[in-house]
Amino acid sequence: MFRSFSRIAVSACLVSFCAALPASAQDEPVTPVKTMSLDDVKNVADAELYLQSRVIELRKRSKGGDPKSMQTMLGTIILETGEKVLSLAKEVDDQKKGYKYKAQALSIQSAAGVEGAKDKLQTLIKELDGKADFQPIVNEIRFSEFIKGVAGTDGKAISTEEYDKFKADLKTWINKKDIPVMDAVGAGMMLTLVKAQNQKAYAEDMLKFLKSAECTVPEADKNAVAARLEGVIKQVEEAENETKDSKLAVGKDPELYGKTLDDKDFDWKSLRGKYVLIKFTATWCGPCKGEIPGMIDAYKKYKEKGLEIISVYVWERGADSVATVKKFVEEEKIDWIVLSETLTEKAGQPKQGESYKFRGVPTMVLVDKEGKIILTDARGGKLKAKLAEIFK
């Protein structure tokens, strides 16, 4: 929805955020790029080709890999590219590219917990701060650190108070004009998604701010971002209209079905009398994994009071996706009900990912004792508050 992010703003959110679309959407063909070594790099153009080839190579290796290790390797690749560009740079524009690569790399490494990366990032800020040609890079780094500080890396929910403070601080950043307003508002949208906040409410709040006297950015910038926000609101409203008639709308009985990981039939009606959290998820989905700590806490706190949880694994990849899910469930210490779309399909039943027609994972809904959905987008702070209200 917002495509003109600076590299630094995006890298801050990539720590917590990865695409959560069907496997078919993520397994797009990769354009072949000649494999290069750093010794092959003779100019800045070569360096960009080198970076592209290494990132594609890393992408191929990343499926099923540890996300933090992948982040560390990505940071290393970008860092060595940035240092190579700086060693070859003869023009200021090439120096800017080198420093941008270096800043992005150190930001990623710092988030991944690489020893010394945070100190090196601060050293880079001091080196460039106050130099007119490089001040925009410093501003981007500082903004990235602001976003990263709110996003975190632990998948924890954000409270309403923390989120409201973030939006107030973001508006201050916008008025400082240190970074493009499109980047600031776009990064805020990404964080809103990562932290399972209301996307439409965020867009409406930012739109109201941009149209007010409180916002001091140039009119042309206001209008450009306002048009994007209006587009976001329209898309969300269209999606809401689509879901009104779906099985996952408020007031509907989802009539959940499927096979458990031990290939047994799941009986939805056996859970009448309990509140049930249903999560459509996938092992490869970063935001899905980020929800697990909060779900574990909720299950421990409310299981004896009548809460049940069901994870439905959809859109899994690989020849033995059932084994992949079993391993993931064991590693994450998930001890609630788990359904497998793969086993469900083998039993001749429709795939849950197709019958429920959700757009991405995680998709989470909360069901009451009568089997009716009472909360959609049941994630993060929104879920936590609803459960506290139910089981008070």
Same domain, 144 and 1: yes
Judge whether 276 lies within some domain.
Answer: yes
**Which carries the bigger pLDDT value, residue 222 or residue 1?**
222
Other residues' Cβ atoms within 10 Å of the Cβ of residue 272: 12
Judge whether 103 lies within some domain.
Answer: yes
Same domain, 151 and 170: no
Judge whether 250 lies within some domain.
Answer: no
The structure's pTM equals: 0.67
Q: Which of 109, 128, 155 is the last residue of a domain?
A: 155
pLDDT tens for residues 73-121?
999 999 999 999 999 999 999 999 999 999 999 998 988 889 999 999 9
Q: Which of 99, 133, 155 is the last residue of a domain?
A: 155
Same domain, 141 and 14: yes
Within 8 A by CB and 6+ apart from 345, the residues are: 351
Alpha carbon distance 157, 144 (integer Å) = 20
Segment 156-178 mean pLDDT: 90
Alpha carbon distance 157, 196 (integer Å) = 8
Crossing angle for the helix pair 44-62 and 92-111, nearest 10 degrees? 20
67 preceded by a cis bond (ω within 30 of 0): no
Other residues' Cβ atoms within 10 Å of the Cβ of residue 357: 13
State the maximum Cα–Cα separation within the chain, in Å, rounded to a whole number: 71
Over its C-alpha atoms, the chain yields an Rg (Å, rounded) of 23
Q: Which of 128, 155, 182 is the last residue of a domain?
A: 155
Residue 64's pLDDT band, with cuts at 50, 70 and 90, is low
Judge whether 311 lies within some domain.
Answer: yes
Residue 236's pLDDT band, with cuts at 50, 70 and 90, is confident
Please give the pLDDT value at position 155. Answer: 57
Same domain, 134 and 181: no
Same domain, 291 and 229: no
Within 8 A by CB and 6+ apart from 176, the residues are: none
| Tally of structural domains, the chain | 3
Same domain, 130 and 190: no
Same domain, 377 and 303: yes
Domain of residue 101: give its range.
1-155
pLDDT tens for residues 123-158?
999 999 999 999 999 999 999 889 988 887 655 667
Same domain, 279 and 366: yes
Same domain, 172 and 263: no
pLDDT tens for residues 279-300?
999 999 888 888 999 999 999 9
Q: Which of 171, 162, 166, 165 is nearest to 207 (CA)?
A: 171
**CATH at 337:** 3.40.30.10
